Amino acid sequence: MSLSPSTEEKINPSDAQAIAVTETHHNEEYEDFLVLEKQMQGAGHRKLMRKLDLRLLPTLSVLYLLASLDKANAGNAKLFGFLEEVGMTGTQFNYALMYLFFTYGLFEPVCNVCLRRLGPKIWFPIAVTTWGLITTLTCIVSSYGGFVAIRLCLGAAEASIYPGGYLLLSMWYKPKELATRMAIFYGANTAAGAFGGVIAYGVGNMDGMHGWRAWRWLFLIEGLITVFFGLASYFMLPPFPHTYTAGTKNSWLTPEEAKYAKLRTKYANGPHAPTYVFQWSDVLAAAKDRKTYFMMMLFWWGGSIPTYSLSYTLPTMVKNLGYTAVKAQALTTPPYIFATVITVTVGILSDRFRRRYFAIMSAYSLGLIGIIILWITVHHPHLTGVSYFAIFLAAAGYSAQAPIVGAWTSENFPNPSKRAAAIGLLMLFGSIGGGSIGSNIYLANQAPYYPLGFGFSVGATTLGAMIPATIHWALMKRDNKRRDKVDKDEVLATYTAEELSAMEEYSPLFRYST
Protein backbone atom coordinates (compact mmCIF):
# COMPACT_ATOMS: atom_id res chain seq x y z
CA MET A 1 0.00 0.00 0.00
CA SER A 2 1.21 3.49 -0.69
CA LEU A 3 -0.34 6.18 1.43
CA SER A 4 0.58 9.84 1.57
CA PRO A 5 0.25 11.87 4.78
CA SER A 6 -2.83 13.56 3.34
CA THR A 7 -4.42 10.15 2.84
CA GLU A 8 -3.77 9.16 6.41
CA GLU A 9 -5.69 12.21 7.53
CA LYS A 10 -8.74 11.12 5.49
CA ILE A 11 -8.84 7.50 6.65
CA ASN A 12 -10.25 6.66 10.05
CA PRO A 13 -7.22 5.80 12.25
CA SER A 14 -8.76 2.53 13.38
CA ASP A 15 -9.42 1.51 9.76
CA ALA A 16 -5.89 2.43 8.74
CA GLN A 17 -4.51 0.38 11.61
CA ALA A 18 -6.69 -2.59 10.67
CA ILE A 19 -5.46 -2.41 7.08
CA ALA A 20 -1.87 -2.24 8.23
CA VAL A 21 -2.27 -5.21 10.60
CA THR A 22 -4.01 -7.31 7.94
CA GLU A 23 -1.36 -6.68 5.33
CA THR A 24 1.76 -6.79 7.46
CA HIS A 25 1.37 -9.59 9.99
CA HIS A 26 4.24 -11.37 8.25
CA ASN A 27 6.32 -8.25 7.91
CA GLU A 28 8.59 -8.34 10.94
CA GLU A 29 10.53 -5.25 9.90
CA TYR A 30 7.37 -3.20 9.67
CA GLU A 31 6.28 -4.48 13.07
CA ASP A 32 9.66 -3.42 14.44
CA PHE A 33 9.02 0.01 12.96
CA LEU A 34 5.64 0.27 14.70
CA VAL A 35 7.25 -0.62 18.01
CA LEU A 36 10.05 1.90 17.52
CA GLU A 37 7.57 4.55 16.39
CA LYS A 38 5.79 4.20 19.71
CA GLN A 39 9.00 4.11 21.73
CA MET A 40 10.50 7.16 20.01
CA GLN A 41 7.52 9.45 20.55
CA GLY A 42 8.11 12.67 22.43
CA ALA A 43 11.62 13.27 23.74
CA GLY A 44 13.16 10.39 21.78
CA HIS A 45 11.85 11.72 18.47
CA ARG A 46 12.95 15.27 19.24
CA LYS A 47 16.43 14.06 20.16
CA LEU A 48 16.75 12.12 16.89
CA MET A 49 15.56 15.06 14.80
CA ARG A 50 18.02 17.33 16.56
CA LYS A 51 20.85 14.92 15.76
CA LEU A 52 19.81 14.68 12.12
CA ASP A 53 19.48 18.43 11.77
CA LEU A 54 22.84 19.17 13.37
CA ARG A 55 24.65 16.55 11.27
CA LEU A 56 23.05 17.02 7.87
CA LEU A 57 21.92 20.62 7.53
CA PRO A 58 25.11 22.54 8.48
CA THR A 59 27.29 20.27 6.34
CA LEU A 60 25.10 20.30 3.24
CA SER A 61 24.42 24.01 3.62
CA VAL A 62 28.11 24.88 3.81
CA LEU A 63 28.88 22.75 0.75
CA TYR A 64 26.04 24.33 -1.24
CA LEU A 65 27.08 27.80 -0.11
CA LEU A 66 30.59 27.11 -1.41
CA ALA A 67 29.20 25.79 -4.70
CA SER A 68 27.13 28.92 -5.15
CA LEU A 69 30.08 31.14 -4.30
CA ASP A 70 32.39 29.36 -6.71
CA LYS A 71 29.80 29.48 -9.48
CA ALA A 72 28.73 33.11 -9.05
CA ASN A 73 32.00 34.75 -8.04
CA ALA A 74 32.65 35.57 -11.69
CA GLY A 75 30.10 38.38 -11.31
CA ASN A 76 32.16 39.84 -8.47
CA ALA A 77 35.44 39.33 -10.35
CA LYS A 78 34.03 41.30 -13.27
CA LEU A 79 34.00 44.44 -11.15
CA PHE A 80 37.68 43.97 -10.28
CA GLY A 81 39.07 44.19 -13.80
CA PHE A 82 38.76 40.51 -14.73
CA LEU A 83 37.55 41.16 -18.29
CA GLU A 84 40.18 43.79 -19.04
CA GLU A 85 43.13 41.74 -17.76
CA VAL A 86 42.08 38.49 -19.44
CA GLY A 87 41.09 40.28 -22.64
CA MET A 88 37.41 39.32 -22.84
CA THR A 89 34.44 41.26 -24.07
CA GLY A 90 31.20 41.44 -22.12
CA THR A 91 29.56 39.13 -24.67
CA GLN A 92 32.31 36.54 -24.33
CA PHE A 93 31.96 36.72 -20.56
CA ASN A 94 28.22 36.00 -20.79
CA TYR A 95 28.86 33.07 -23.14
CA ALA A 96 31.39 31.59 -20.73
CA LEU A 97 28.88 31.86 -17.88
CA MET A 98 26.32 30.13 -20.08
CA TYR A 99 28.59 27.23 -21.03
CA LEU A 100 28.88 26.14 -17.40
CA PHE A 101 25.23 25.17 -17.36
CA PHE A 102 25.56 22.71 -20.21
CA THR A 103 27.92 20.46 -18.27
CA TYR A 104 26.16 21.33 -15.01
CA GLY A 105 22.83 20.10 -16.35
CA LEU A 106 24.15 17.14 -18.32
CA PHE A 107 26.03 15.75 -15.34
CA GLU A 108 23.25 16.18 -12.75
CA PRO A 109 21.48 12.85 -13.53
CA VAL A 110 24.86 11.11 -13.81
CA CYS A 111 25.98 12.51 -10.46
CA ASN A 112 22.76 11.38 -8.78
CA VAL A 113 23.40 7.84 -10.04
CA CYS A 114 26.97 8.02 -8.71
CA LEU A 115 25.67 9.29 -5.39
CA ARG A 116 23.19 6.42 -5.14
CA ARG A 117 25.90 3.85 -5.89
CA LEU A 118 28.85 5.27 -3.93
CA GLY A 119 27.02 7.02 -1.11
CA PRO A 120 27.44 10.56 0.17
CA LYS A 121 30.55 9.85 2.27
CA ILE A 122 32.51 8.92 -0.84
CA TRP A 123 30.91 10.87 -3.66
CA PHE A 124 30.53 14.30 -2.07
CA PRO A 125 34.18 14.63 -0.92
CA ILE A 126 35.34 13.71 -4.44
CA ALA A 127 33.03 16.22 -6.11
CA VAL A 128 33.58 19.10 -3.68
CA THR A 129 37.37 18.78 -3.62
CA THR A 130 37.42 18.65 -7.41
CA TRP A 131 35.43 21.83 -7.94
CA GLY A 132 37.50 23.55 -5.24
CA LEU A 133 40.67 22.79 -7.18
CA ILE A 134 39.04 24.03 -10.39
CA THR A 135 38.01 27.29 -8.70
CA THR A 136 41.55 27.74 -7.38
CA LEU A 137 43.00 27.30 -10.88
CA THR A 138 40.74 30.05 -12.19
CA CYS A 139 43.16 32.56 -10.61
CA ILE A 140 45.73 31.81 -13.34
CA VAL A 141 43.33 32.11 -16.30
CA SER A 142 44.83 34.32 -19.02
CA SER A 143 42.52 33.91 -21.99
CA TYR A 144 38.90 33.54 -23.01
CA GLY A 145 39.46 29.92 -24.07
CA GLY A 146 41.01 29.08 -20.72
CA PHE A 147 38.06 30.61 -18.88
CA VAL A 148 35.60 28.62 -21.00
CA ALA A 149 37.47 25.38 -20.23
CA ILE A 150 37.45 26.20 -16.50
CA ARG A 151 33.71 26.91 -16.51
CA LEU A 152 32.89 23.68 -18.35
CA CYS A 153 34.88 21.65 -15.80
CA LEU A 154 33.37 23.56 -12.90
CA GLY A 155 29.85 22.83 -14.15
CA ALA A 156 30.52 19.08 -14.31
CA ALA A 157 32.08 19.01 -10.84
CA GLU A 158 29.38 21.11 -9.15
CA ALA A 159 26.52 19.10 -10.66
CA SER A 160 26.43 16.85 -7.59
CA ILE A 161 25.51 19.19 -4.80
CA TYR A 162 22.07 20.56 -5.67
CA PRO A 163 20.20 17.40 -6.77
CA GLY A 164 22.35 15.30 -4.47
CA GLY A 165 21.54 17.45 -1.46
CA TYR A 166 17.82 17.19 -2.17
CA LEU A 167 18.08 13.43 -2.63
CA LEU A 168 20.05 12.94 0.59
CA LEU A 169 17.57 15.00 2.60
CA SER A 170 14.61 13.09 1.12
CA MET A 171 16.23 9.83 2.26
CA TRP A 172 16.59 10.98 5.88
CA TYR A 173 13.41 13.03 6.37
CA LYS A 174 9.71 12.20 6.03
CA PRO A 175 7.64 14.17 3.48
CA LYS A 176 6.05 16.45 6.07
CA GLU A 177 9.53 17.46 7.30
CA LEU A 178 11.15 18.09 3.93
CA ALA A 179 10.27 21.65 2.94
CA THR A 180 11.77 23.16 6.10
CA ARG A 181 15.03 21.25 5.68
CA MET A 182 15.24 21.92 1.97
CA ALA A 183 14.63 25.60 2.68
CA ILE A 184 17.53 25.67 5.13
CA PHE A 185 19.70 23.83 2.62
CA TYR A 186 18.71 26.10 -0.26
CA GLY A 187 19.06 29.10 2.01
CA ALA A 188 22.80 28.51 1.71
CA ASN A 189 22.53 29.41 -1.97
CA THR A 190 20.85 32.66 -1.02
CA ALA A 191 23.30 33.30 1.80
CA ALA A 192 26.11 32.81 -0.70
CA GLY A 193 25.08 36.11 -2.24
CA ALA A 194 25.59 37.77 1.14
CA PHE A 195 28.90 36.02 1.82
CA GLY A 196 30.03 36.67 -1.73
CA GLY A 197 29.48 40.38 -1.29
CA VAL A 198 31.34 40.43 2.05
CA ILE A 199 34.27 38.37 0.73
CA ALA A 200 34.48 40.44 -2.44
CA TYR A 201 34.41 43.62 -0.35
CA GLY A 202 37.36 42.35 1.71
CA VAL A 203 39.29 41.01 -1.25
CA GLY A 204 38.77 44.30 -3.06
CA ASN A 205 41.21 45.85 -0.60
CA MET A 206 43.87 43.33 -1.71
CA ASP A 207 43.90 44.72 -5.25
CA GLY A 208 47.53 45.00 -6.39
CA MET A 209 48.97 42.96 -3.52
CA HIS A 210 52.02 41.00 -4.75
CA GLY A 211 51.22 42.22 -8.26
CA TRP A 212 47.87 40.43 -8.43
CA ARG A 213 44.54 42.05 -9.20
CA ALA A 214 41.74 41.46 -6.68
CA TRP A 215 39.91 38.99 -8.95
CA ARG A 216 42.83 36.53 -8.78
CA TRP A 217 42.83 36.64 -4.99
CA LEU A 218 39.08 36.11 -5.02
CA PHE A 219 39.28 32.83 -6.97
CA LEU A 220 42.33 31.61 -5.03
CA ILE A 221 40.90 32.22 -1.55
CA GLU A 222 37.42 30.83 -2.28
CA GLY A 223 38.89 27.80 -4.05
CA LEU A 224 41.19 26.84 -1.17
CA ILE A 225 38.33 27.18 1.32
CA THR A 226 36.26 24.78 -0.80
CA VAL A 227 39.09 22.22 -0.98
CA PHE A 228 39.35 22.23 2.82
CA PHE A 229 35.63 21.60 3.32
CA GLY A 230 35.60 19.02 0.55
CA LEU A 231 38.17 16.91 2.38
CA ALA A 232 36.43 17.50 5.71
CA SER A 233 33.04 16.39 4.31
CA TYR A 234 34.18 12.76 4.44
CA PHE A 235 34.09 12.98 8.23
CA MET A 236 31.04 15.25 8.43
CA LEU A 237 28.49 13.50 6.20
CA PRO A 238 26.60 10.32 7.15
CA PRO A 239 25.78 7.54 4.65
CA PHE A 240 22.27 6.84 3.44
CA PRO A 241 20.05 5.58 6.29
CA HIS A 242 19.10 2.35 4.51
CA THR A 243 22.76 1.26 4.54
CA TYR A 244 22.77 0.93 8.32
CA THR A 245 22.57 -2.70 9.44
CA ALA A 246 22.27 -4.30 12.86
CA GLY A 247 25.54 -3.87 14.72
CA THR A 248 26.72 -0.95 12.56
CA LYS A 249 28.99 1.24 14.66
CA ASN A 250 28.61 4.99 14.50
CA SER A 251 29.39 7.78 16.90
CA TRP A 252 26.31 9.91 16.43
CA LEU A 253 23.29 7.57 16.57
CA THR A 254 22.44 4.82 19.02
CA PRO A 255 21.53 1.42 17.48
CA GLU A 256 17.84 2.13 18.15
CA GLU A 257 18.05 5.60 16.61
CA ALA A 258 19.86 4.28 13.53
CA LYS A 259 17.24 1.57 13.03
CA TYR A 260 14.35 3.98 13.53
CA ALA A 261 15.91 6.57 11.20
CA LYS A 262 16.18 3.88 8.56
CA LEU A 263 12.65 2.50 8.95
CA ARG A 264 10.71 5.74 9.45
CA THR A 265 11.48 6.98 5.93
CA LYS A 266 11.30 3.52 4.43
CA TYR A 267 7.73 3.08 5.67
CA ALA A 268 6.64 6.72 5.49
CA ASN A 269 4.02 5.85 2.86
CA GLY A 270 2.70 2.59 4.25
CA PRO A 271 3.68 -0.94 5.31
CA HIS A 272 5.12 -2.03 1.94
CA ALA A 273 8.23 -0.02 1.18
CA PRO A 274 9.38 0.78 -2.37
CA THR A 275 12.59 -0.75 -3.65
CA TYR A 276 15.86 0.95 -2.77
CA VAL A 277 17.71 -0.73 -5.63
CA PHE A 278 18.49 1.64 -8.50
CA GLN A 279 16.93 0.45 -11.77
CA TRP A 280 17.19 2.03 -15.19
CA SER A 281 13.48 1.39 -15.62
CA ASP A 282 12.95 4.05 -12.95
CA VAL A 283 14.74 6.59 -15.14
CA LEU A 284 12.44 5.70 -18.02
CA ALA A 285 9.37 5.89 -15.77
CA ALA A 286 10.41 9.34 -14.53
CA ALA A 287 11.08 10.49 -18.10
CA LYS A 288 7.54 9.48 -19.13
CA ASP A 289 5.83 11.00 -16.10
CA ARG A 290 3.98 14.29 -16.62
CA LYS A 291 4.90 15.37 -13.09
CA THR A 292 8.57 15.49 -14.05
CA TYR A 293 7.87 17.97 -16.85
CA PHE A 294 5.57 20.20 -14.83
CA MET A 295 8.15 20.44 -12.05
CA MET A 296 10.80 21.03 -14.69
CA MET A 297 8.87 24.06 -15.91
CA LEU A 298 8.72 25.46 -12.37
CA PHE A 299 12.42 24.84 -11.76
CA TRP A 300 13.42 26.19 -15.19
CA TRP A 301 11.26 29.26 -15.82
CA GLY A 302 10.33 30.29 -12.30
CA GLY A 303 13.58 29.33 -10.62
CA SER A 304 16.76 29.05 -12.66
CA ILE A 305 16.21 31.94 -15.07
CA PRO A 306 15.38 34.71 -12.58
CA THR A 307 17.68 33.36 -9.84
CA TYR A 308 20.80 33.00 -11.98
CA SER A 309 20.20 36.22 -13.88
CA LEU A 310 19.87 38.09 -10.59
CA SER A 311 22.93 36.52 -8.96
CA TYR A 312 25.18 37.29 -11.93
CA THR A 313 23.86 40.82 -12.47
CA LEU A 314 23.17 42.06 -8.94
CA PRO A 315 26.63 43.58 -8.21
CA THR A 316 26.51 45.49 -11.50
CA MET A 317 22.87 46.43 -10.96
CA VAL A 318 23.65 47.91 -7.54
CA LYS A 319 26.65 49.72 -8.98
CA ASN A 320 24.35 51.24 -11.61
CA LEU A 321 22.37 52.82 -8.78
CA GLY A 322 25.33 55.13 -8.27
CA TYR A 323 27.68 53.27 -5.89
CA THR A 324 31.37 52.47 -6.29
CA ALA A 325 32.40 48.92 -7.23
CA VAL A 326 33.61 48.07 -3.72
CA LYS A 327 30.55 49.56 -2.01
CA ALA A 328 28.27 47.81 -4.50
CA GLN A 329 29.75 44.49 -3.40
CA ALA A 330 28.90 45.27 0.24
CA LEU A 331 25.37 46.42 -0.62
CA THR A 332 24.53 43.07 -2.25
CA THR A 333 24.70 41.45 1.20
CA PRO A 334 21.50 42.78 2.91
CA PRO A 335 19.10 41.61 0.14
CA TYR A 336 20.50 38.10 0.33
CA ILE A 337 20.27 37.99 4.12
CA PHE A 338 16.63 39.03 3.86
CA ALA A 339 16.06 36.42 1.14
CA THR A 340 17.56 33.69 3.33
CA VAL A 341 15.19 34.54 6.19
CA ILE A 342 12.16 34.56 3.89
CA THR A 343 13.21 31.26 2.26
CA VAL A 344 13.41 29.42 5.58
CA THR A 345 10.18 31.02 6.83
CA VAL A 346 8.24 29.94 3.73
CA GLY A 347 9.64 26.42 4.08
CA ILE A 348 8.50 26.17 7.70
CA LEU A 349 5.02 27.46 6.88
CA SER A 350 4.77 25.10 3.90
CA ASP A 351 5.49 22.09 6.13
CA ARG A 352 3.12 23.30 8.81
CA PHE A 353 0.11 23.89 6.56
CA ARG A 354 1.01 21.32 3.82
CA ARG A 355 0.00 23.66 1.00
CA ARG A 356 2.86 23.39 -1.51
CA TYR A 357 1.09 25.09 -4.41
CA PHE A 358 0.11 28.16 -2.42
CA ALA A 359 3.60 28.46 -0.95
CA ILE A 360 5.15 28.37 -4.42
CA MET A 361 2.67 30.85 -5.87
CA SER A 362 3.25 33.23 -2.96
CA ALA A 363 6.99 33.10 -3.57
CA TYR A 364 6.57 33.69 -7.31
CA SER A 365 4.28 36.64 -6.62
CA LEU A 366 6.78 38.26 -4.26
CA GLY A 367 9.62 37.88 -6.76
CA LEU A 368 7.45 39.16 -9.58
CA ILE A 369 6.44 42.27 -7.61
CA GLY A 370 10.11 43.00 -6.91
CA ILE A 371 11.11 42.66 -10.58
CA ILE A 372 8.24 44.87 -11.78
CA ILE A 373 9.01 47.61 -9.24
CA LEU A 374 12.71 47.48 -10.16
CA TRP A 375 11.88 47.60 -13.87
CA ILE A 376 9.88 50.78 -13.34
CA THR A 377 12.14 52.58 -10.87
CA VAL A 378 15.44 52.16 -12.77
CA HIS A 379 14.05 54.76 -15.15
CA HIS A 380 13.88 57.27 -12.29
CA PRO A 381 17.31 58.01 -10.76
CA HIS A 382 15.76 59.81 -7.77
CA LEU A 383 14.06 56.54 -6.69
CA THR A 384 17.30 54.74 -5.83
CA GLY A 385 15.97 53.67 -2.43
CA VAL A 386 12.84 52.14 -3.95
CA SER A 387 14.95 50.28 -6.53
CA TYR A 388 17.17 48.88 -3.78
CA PHE A 389 14.07 47.80 -1.80
CA ALA A 390 12.72 46.04 -4.90
CA ILE A 391 15.94 44.00 -5.07
CA PHE A 392 15.10 42.67 -1.58
CA LEU A 393 11.69 41.48 -2.78
CA ALA A 394 12.98 39.90 -5.99
CA ALA A 395 15.83 38.07 -4.26
CA ALA A 396 13.50 36.77 -1.52
CA GLY A 397 10.68 35.61 -3.79
CA TYR A 398 12.81 33.77 -6.33
CA SER A 399 14.84 32.12 -3.59
CA ALA A 400 11.84 31.00 -1.52
CA GLN A 401 10.23 29.01 -4.35
CA ALA A 402 13.13 26.60 -4.89
CA PRO A 403 12.95 24.39 -1.76
CA ILE A 404 9.18 24.06 -2.10
CA VAL A 405 9.62 22.84 -5.69
CA GLY A 406 12.09 20.25 -4.39
CA ALA A 407 9.82 19.13 -1.55
CA TRP A 408 6.75 18.97 -3.81
CA THR A 409 8.65 16.80 -6.28
CA SER A 410 10.01 14.47 -3.61
CA GLU A 411 6.62 13.94 -1.94
CA ASN A 412 4.90 12.86 -5.14
CA PHE A 413 7.57 10.33 -6.14
CA PRO A 414 7.52 7.79 -3.24
CA ASN A 415 10.01 5.42 -4.92
CA PRO A 416 13.52 6.71 -4.05
CA SER A 417 14.97 5.45 -7.33
CA LYS A 418 12.34 7.13 -9.47
CA ARG A 419 12.59 10.22 -7.26
CA ALA A 420 16.35 10.43 -7.85
CA ALA A 421 15.80 10.09 -11.59
CA ALA A 422 13.02 12.70 -11.63
CA ILE A 423 15.10 15.21 -9.65
CA GLY A 424 18.07 14.63 -11.94
CA LEU A 425 16.00 14.98 -15.12
CA LEU A 426 14.12 18.11 -14.10
CA MET A 427 17.38 19.72 -13.01
CA LEU A 428 19.13 18.64 -16.21
CA PHE A 429 16.83 20.66 -18.43
CA GLY A 430 16.21 23.32 -15.81
CA SER A 431 19.90 23.99 -15.30
CA ILE A 432 20.83 23.99 -18.99
CA GLY A 433 17.86 26.06 -20.07
CA GLY A 434 17.60 28.29 -17.02
CA GLY A 435 21.29 28.90 -16.53
CA SER A 436 22.09 29.52 -20.17
CA ILE A 437 19.17 31.90 -20.61
CA GLY A 438 19.51 33.58 -17.22
CA SER A 439 23.15 34.45 -17.78
CA ASN A 440 22.38 36.17 -21.08
CA ILE A 441 19.24 38.27 -20.64
CA TYR A 442 20.67 41.18 -18.66
CA LEU A 443 22.90 42.56 -21.38
CA ALA A 444 25.64 45.06 -20.56
CA ASN A 445 24.73 47.29 -23.50
CA GLN A 446 21.19 47.64 -22.10
CA ALA A 447 22.28 48.83 -18.63
CA PRO A 448 20.85 50.25 -16.48
CA TYR A 449 17.34 49.69 -17.88
CA TYR A 450 17.69 46.06 -19.06
CA PRO A 451 14.41 45.85 -21.02
CA LEU A 452 15.16 42.32 -22.24
CA GLY A 453 16.18 41.08 -18.77
CA PHE A 454 13.22 42.49 -16.87
CA GLY A 455 10.71 41.62 -19.57
CA PHE A 456 11.97 38.06 -19.90
CA SER A 457 11.93 37.54 -16.12
CA VAL A 458 8.30 38.68 -15.89
CA GLY A 459 7.23 36.53 -18.82
CA ALA A 460 9.13 33.47 -17.58
CA THR A 461 7.57 33.72 -14.13
CA THR A 462 3.97 34.13 -15.28
CA LEU A 463 3.80 32.06 -18.48
CA GLY A 464 6.53 29.53 -17.76
CA ALA A 465 6.01 28.87 -14.06
CA MET A 466 2.80 30.20 -12.50
CA ILE A 467 0.48 28.83 -15.20
CA PRO A 468 2.12 25.35 -15.31
CA ALA A 469 2.08 25.24 -11.48
CA THR A 470 -1.64 25.93 -11.51
CA ILE A 471 -2.32 23.24 -14.15
CA HIS A 472 -0.17 20.73 -12.24
CA TRP A 473 -2.01 21.49 -8.98
CA ALA A 474 -5.43 21.23 -10.66
CA LEU A 475 -4.62 17.86 -12.24
CA MET A 476 -3.45 16.36 -8.96
CA LYS A 477 -6.47 17.74 -7.13
CA ARG A 478 -8.66 16.09 -9.78
CA ASP A 479 -6.85 12.76 -9.33
CA ASN A 480 -7.24 12.94 -5.56
CA LYS A 481 -10.98 13.61 -5.87
CA ARG A 482 -11.40 10.62 -8.18
CA ARG A 483 -9.58 8.37 -5.73
CA ASP A 484 -11.67 9.67 -2.83
CA LYS A 485 -14.69 8.12 -4.54
CA VAL A 486 -13.07 4.68 -4.78
CA ASP A 487 -14.25 2.02 -2.33
CA LYS A 488 -11.17 1.13 -0.27
CA ASP A 489 -12.48 -2.31 0.68
CA GLU A 490 -12.99 -3.11 -2.99
CA VAL A 491 -9.44 -1.98 -3.81
CA LEU A 492 -7.99 -4.17 -1.05
CA ALA A 493 -10.04 -7.11 -2.29
CA THR A 494 -8.95 -6.59 -5.90
CA TYR A 495 -5.21 -6.04 -5.43
CA THR A 496 -2.63 -7.61 -3.19
CA ALA A 497 -0.57 -5.36 -0.94
CA GLU A 498 2.47 -5.99 -3.15
CA GLU A 499 0.57 -4.92 -6.26
CA LEU A 500 -0.58 -1.72 -4.57
CA SER A 501 2.96 -1.02 -3.47
CA ALA A 502 4.27 -1.58 -7.00
CA MET A 503 1.76 0.99 -8.30
CA GLU A 504 3.52 3.62 -6.15
CA GLU A 505 1.83 7.02 -6.63
CA TYR A 506 -0.64 5.49 -9.10
CA SER A 507 -2.20 3.35 -6.39
CA PRO A 508 -5.90 4.18 -5.78
CA LEU A 509 -4.96 4.59 -2.12
CA PHE A 510 -2.24 7.20 -2.72
CA ARG A 511 -3.03 10.90 -2.44
CA TYR A 512 -0.87 13.53 -4.10
CA SER A 513 0.53 16.36 -2.04
CA THR A 514 -0.95 19.62 -3.29
Distance CA 467, CA 462 (A): 6
Mean pLDDT, range 41-45, rounded to an integer:
89
Percent of the chain surpassing pLDDT 90: 42
What pLDDT, on the 0 to 100 scale, is given for residue 278?
66
Q: How far apart are CA 238 and CA 128, in angstroms?
A: 16
When the pLDDT of each residue in the chain is averaged and rounded to a whole number, the result is 85
DSSP string, 103-114: HHHHHHHHHHHH
**pLDDT band at residue 375, thresholds of 50, 70 and 90?**
very high
pLDDT at 7: 36
**pLDDT value at residue 382:** 86
Crossing angle of helices 43-78 and 214-236, rounded to 10°: 160
pTM, rounded to two decimals: 0.80
Sorted by where each starts, the structural domains of the chain and their CATH numbers stand as 5-243+258-265+278-506 (1.20.1250.20)
pLDDT at 513 over 60: yes
Q: What is the pLDDT of residue 9?
A: 36
pLDDT score for 135: 94
What is the spatial distance between Cα 506 and Cα 108, in angstroms, rounded to a whole number? 26
Give pLDDT tens digits for 110-165. 888 889 888 999 999 999 999 999 999 999 999 999 999 999 999 999 999 988 99
Report pLDDT for 75.
78
Residue 270 is predicted with a pLDDT of 66
Is 70 exceeded by the pLDDT of residue 216? yes
- The model's confidence at residue 274, banded by pLDDT at 50, 70 and 90, is low
Q: How much is the pLDDT for 182?
A: 93
